[in-house]
């Protein structure tokens, strides 16, 4: 897919603008997205008959499985974003994969993740797993993390309220004479007990969920596209590509212009003469026509007599609207709204509890990752210096003294500094990484609170003066440095 084929204006947006862009994509392609949602959810319909007496369990299965439908919405919108409308056969094959893709993690462990709207996009479109997936999610959720959590909570609330609206307004718009039986049904004490009435609410909730999921998933996809635009500069890349295409198309124009410039001047002179003759003839014709024209007042009167300038008046009588005096089917609706309120409260509490558990798990993971060693393996090269024990001589001090006696002060100081770093990494277990500078290494050593840290500070200062200022210490300071060497005699250990 090429970025220049994108069908959405690519520019950095705020979170609310990104959500609005996602909703616009859903409105543009609603019916295909809605159908794709049902292509993944239809297996749940097979459980209606076995669970006909237990609609509550069927609702649990449906709301657990409907995440696969959201994956199909992401597939449809992502292809349409780049100008490709997938065929129905491609949608059907993708629905099979949506049932099993990363099933144990997404459908069980992370089913109630508040970031699932953006996590699904990273999983399905980029196919990342493990550490790469976590790194990508940390980058993508830098923008829109709070909005993504808000959309997850709002989707659950919207499904309940939209389902209640479908149920209530469906009864309110029944023809006259049919509302009384339904009003009696709502007033019955068995409405919330008998399963046959439960399926009425279940149908309203399922239809509401199918609509809400399309728009909420599209909003999450809009947040994902906006995050990548901010991080990767999609708008800048797209502007350069379009500029290159325009320049490529103007090459022919430049060549044609050069050809015109090189044309014979005589041809241009003949053309100018012909234009002068045509202008002269047109001026003569204008004078002749001007003499033949009528008086302006007569022309105005003639124009005003035309049919288009006549004033037409029409009168209309507004019919009287008879007021509807039939009984309003409001009986029993209080109980319905009360039940819906309890359901909404239960969903809010469940989502809140899930969010708290997720935050606790995430905070624990971050704390554990900060308490253990950041580096999975010991650094081998620091600032371009090989600090492995194998790269150091067996008798480090003797070799360093020979370098100093031969006048190679930089090599002597480098050997001592490398030996010290090797000791701190291998023996003291200090987490020195390859990207650390001298100051970073010194800070990590001081944080270890070992007695040898004072010597390393002095060694670091002398090494930096020698390496960067070409200011080697005097012989007395060198001898003192060798005499107080605290890191052993063999290989810096």
23-75 confidence digits (pLDDT tens): 999 999 899 999 998 888 888 888 777 877 777 788 888 888 888 888 889 89
DSSP 8-state class, residue 381:
E
CA angle 234/239/242 to nearest 5° reads: 125
Q: Per the structure block, which two tokens stand in for 26?
A: 């859903």
How far lies 257's CA from each of 149, 166, 250, 262, 325, in Å? 58, 66, 11, 9, 80
Mean pLDDT over 166-178 rounds to 71
CB distance 214 to 19 below 8 Å = no
User: Beta strands of 191-339 (E only): which ranges?
Assistant: none
Helices assigned H by DSSP within 42-178: 55-65, 67-81, 88-100, 103-104, 116-121, 130-140, 145-172
> Residue 299: inside a domain, yes or no?
no
List, in order, residues 6 or more apart from 202 with CB less than 8 Å away. 55, 58, 59
CA distance 15 to 23: 12
Q: Select from 423, 424, 419 the least CA-distant residue to 446.
A: 424
The answer, as to whether pTM is greater than 0.95, is no
Is the per-residue pLDDT at 85 higher than 80? Answer: yes
Rg of the chain over all Cα atoms, to the nearest angstrom = 39
pLDDT of residue 326: 46
Domain endpoint, select from 220, 239, 258:
239
pLDDT of residue 24: 92
Q: Per the structure block, which two tokens stand in for 129?
A: 């797993």
Confidence grade of residue 179 (pLDDT, cut at 50, 70, 90): low
Is the per-residue pLDDT at 301 higher than 70? Answer: yes
**What is the percentage of the chain residues whose pLDDT exceeds 90?**
4
> Residue 263: inside a domain, yes or no?
no
How far lies 413's CA from each of 180, 379, 382, 399, 408, in Å? 98, 20, 15, 11, 9
240 against 361, higher pLDDT: 361
CA distance 396 to 419: 8
Is the per-residue pLDDT at 163 higher than 60? Answer: yes
Q: Per the structure block, which two tokens stand in for 58?
A: 């069927």
Strand partners, 382: 385
Sign of CA dihedral 124, 129, 132, 136: positive
Confidence grade of residue 217 (pLDDT, cut at 50, 70, 90): very high
Is the per-residue pLDDT at 219 higher than 90? Answer: yes
The phi, psi pair for 193, rounded to 5°, reads -110, -45
pLDDT of residue 375: 42
Is the per-residue pLDDT at 417 higher than 90? Answer: no
Q: Select from 211, 208, 178 the least CA-distant residue to 340.
A: 208
Report pLDDT digits (tens) over 435-488: 788 888 888 888 887 878 888 888 888 888 888 778 888 888 888 888 888 886
Mean pLDDT over 340-363 rounds to 74
Report pLDDT digits (tens) over 362-408: 777 666 555 444 444 677 788 778 888 888 888 888 888 888 888 88
> Residue 328: inside a domain, yes or no?
no
54 against 193, higher pLDDT: 54
| Burial degree of 32 (CB within 10 A; 0-12, 13-18, 19+) | buried
Strand partners, 386: 381
CA distance 85 to 76: 7
pLDDT of residue 266: 47
pLDDT of residue 493: 39
> Residue 92: inside a domain, yes or no?
yes
Domain endpoint, select from 206, 239, 272:
239
Q: What is the helix (H) or strand (E) element at residue 446, kind and residue range?
A: helix 438-447
Least confident among 151-155, 238-242, 389-393, 407-411: 238-242
CA distance 297 to 295: 6
CA distance 153 to 351: 7
Strand partners, 405: none
pLDDT of residue 321: 53
> Residue 354: inside a domain, yes or no?
no
**Which of helix, strand or coil describes residue 54?**
coil
Q: Per the structure block, which two tokens stand in for 197?
A: 């009435």
Is the per-residue pLDDT at 180 higher than 50? Answer: yes
Confidence grade of residue 329 (pLDDT, cut at 50, 70, 90): very low
> Residue 282: inside a domain, yes or no?
no
> Residue 358: inside a domain, yes or no?
no
Q: How many domains does the chain have?
A: 2
User: Domain span at residue 395?
Assistant: 381-483
Domain endpoint, select from 209, 239, 269:
239
How far lies 469's CA from each of 148, 153, 419, 461, 462, in Å? 53, 61, 21, 11, 10
> Residue 24: inside a domain, yes or no?
yes
């Amino acid at each position: 897919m090429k970025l220049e084929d994108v069908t959405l204006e690519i520019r950095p947006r705020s979170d609310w603008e990104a959500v609005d862009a996602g909703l616009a994509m859903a409105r543009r392609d609603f019916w295909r997205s809605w159908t794709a949602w049902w292509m993944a959810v239809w297996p749940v319909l097979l459980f209606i008959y076995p669970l006909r007496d237990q609609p509550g369990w069927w609702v649990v299965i449906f709301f657990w499985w409907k995440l696969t439908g959201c994956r199909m919405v992401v597939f449809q919108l992502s292809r349409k974003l780049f100008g490709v409308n997938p065929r129905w056969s491609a949608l059907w094959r993708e629905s099979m994969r949506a049932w099993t893709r990363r099933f144990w993690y997404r459908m069980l462990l992370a089913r109630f993740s508040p970031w699932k709207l953006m996590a699904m996009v990273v999983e399905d479109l980029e196919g990342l797993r493990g550490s790469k997936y976590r790194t990508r999610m940390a980058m993508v959720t830098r923008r829109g993390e709070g909005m993504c959590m808000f959309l997850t909570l709002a989707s659950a609330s919207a499904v309940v309220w939209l389902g209640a609206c479908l149920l209530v307004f469906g009864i309110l718009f029944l023809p006259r004479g049919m509302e009384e039986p339904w009003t009696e049904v709502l007033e019955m004490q068995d409405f919330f007990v008998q399963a046959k009435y439960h399926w009425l609410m279940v149908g309203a909730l399922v239809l509401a969920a199918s609509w809400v999921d399309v728009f909420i998933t599209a909003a999450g996809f809009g947040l994902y596209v906006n995050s990548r635009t901010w991080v990767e500069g999609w708008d800048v890349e797209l502007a350069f590509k379009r500029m290159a295409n325009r320049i490529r198309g103007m090459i022919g124009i430049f060549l044609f212009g050069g050809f015109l410039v090189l044309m014979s001047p005589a041809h241009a002179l003949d053309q100018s003469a012909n234009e002068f003759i045509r202008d002269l003839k047109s001026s003569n014709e204008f004078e002749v026509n001007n003499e033949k024209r009528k008086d302006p007042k007569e022309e105005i009167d003639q124009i005003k007599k035309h049919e288009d300038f006549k004033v037409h008046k029409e009168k209309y009588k507004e019919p009287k609207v008879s007021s509807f005096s039939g009984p309003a089917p409001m009986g029993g609706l209080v109980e319905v709204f009360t039940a819906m309120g309890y359901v909404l409260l239960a969903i809010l509490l469940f989502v809140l509890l899930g969010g708290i558990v997720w935050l606790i798990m995430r905070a624990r993971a971050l704390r554990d990752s900060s308490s253990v060693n950041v580096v999975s393996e010991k650094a081998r090269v620091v600032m371009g210096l090989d600090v492995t024990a194998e790269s150091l001589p067996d008798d480090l001090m003797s070799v360093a003294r020979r370098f100093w006696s031969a006048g190679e002060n930089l090599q002597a100081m480098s050997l001592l500094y490398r030996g010290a770093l090797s000791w701190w990494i291998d023996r003291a277990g200090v987490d020195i990484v390859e990207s650390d500078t001298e100051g970073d290494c010194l800070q990590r050593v001081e944080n270890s609170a070992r007695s040898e840290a004072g010597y390393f500070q002095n060694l670091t200062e002398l090494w930096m003066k020698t390496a960067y200022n070409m200011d080697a210490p005097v012989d007395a300071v060198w001898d003192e440095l060798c005499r107080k060497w605290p890191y052993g005699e063999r290989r810096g250990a």
